[in-house]
Amino acid sequence: MLLIPCPWCGPRDETEFHYGGQAHVAYPGNPAALSDEEWARYLFFRDNPKGAFAERWNHSAGCRRWFNAVRDTADNEIRAVYRTGEPRPVTA
């Protein structure tokens, strides 16, 4: 079970959190201007890298805040956490 460092609460057990998928996927500014294919790409397609991945988490059984984390999908290490709206930090 991961120990996830919530930016507000500190390190807590993974069971307190909900996973929110890839971070920094902005809602399109004007969805109506997108083709069906472009809209489907926004809706259904996400990256699946081996290595560092910026993703969203929600401390749902704690402070109920959303935040972002950079997790390495190869070794499951969380390299950084940062607040929603902040840019993705540089990680090793």
Chain residues that interact with other proteins, rule: CB under 8 A: 1-3, 13-14, 18, 20, 27-28, 30-32, 34, 36, 39-40, 43, 56, 58, 60, 64-66, 75-76, 84-85
Tell me the closest approach of the beta carbon of residue 72 to other proteins, in angstroms. Answer: 12
| DSSP track, 21-84 | EES--PPPS-GGGS-HHHHHHHHH-----SSEEEEEEE-TTTT--EEEEEEETTT--EEEEEET
Give which of 53, 51, 69 is closest to 5, Cα–Cα: 69
Asked if 23 and 58 count as a contact pair (C-beta separation under 8 A), the reply is: no
> Between 36 and 90, whose beta carbon lies closer to other proteins?
36
Tell me the closest approach of the beta carbon of residue 38 to other proteins, in angstroms. Answer: 10
> Between 18 and 88, whose beta carbon lies closer to other proteins?
18
> Between 31 and 49, whose beta carbon lies closer to other proteins?
31
